[in-house]
Amino acid sequence: MDIRQKQRKWANAWQTAAGSLKKLKKDELRADDYYEKNQKLLDEMLQYACDSGLKRGGSGLVEQQRIFKKAVAPGKIERICREESGGNRPEIHSPEECPEDET
């Protein structure tokens, strides 16, 4: 058996198994005792997210609207760039002020 035949055989085996694995995972997630079995792991994941997550005062929608409003100001088109300090908050600059690689 050459390498191509072996590859086809493996591909067919995984294709055949894919449906069974999908059903198995779905059944596992739907099981009545899934959360009881995995409670400790789920609690640790949620606690990590709470402890290390980004704290912000809102959803960001108001900030997003402010940025869009500035970006579509009448008579000019501006670019939204990341701050030079590497921050996550985008800033509005005129095309002359915003370097090409930061857009």
| Contact by Cβ (8 Å): 80, 103 | yes
Amino acid letter, 85: S
83: confidence class by pLDDT, cuts 50, 70, 90? very low
Residues 6+ apart with CB under 8 A from 67: 80, 90, 92
Report the number of distinct structural domains present in the chain. 2
Angle at 22 between CA 19 and CA 24, to 5 degrees: 110
Q: Is the pLDDT of residue 1 over 50?
A: yes
Q: How many CA atoms lie within 13 A of 50 on its CB side?
A: 6
Q: In the predicted model, is pLDDT for residue 85 greater than 50?
A: no
Residues 95 and 67 reside in one and the same domain: yes
Residues 41 and 71 in one domain: no
Both 9 and 45 in a single domain? yes
Interval 25-70: pLDDT, tens: 999 989 988 888 889 998 999 999 888 877 777 778 888 888 888 7
| Residue 82: strand pairing partners | 90
Residues 86 and 48 in one domain: no
How is residue 89 annotated by DSSP? S
Q: Which domain holds residue 71?
A: 61-102
State in Å, rounded, how far the first CA of the chain is from the last one.
53
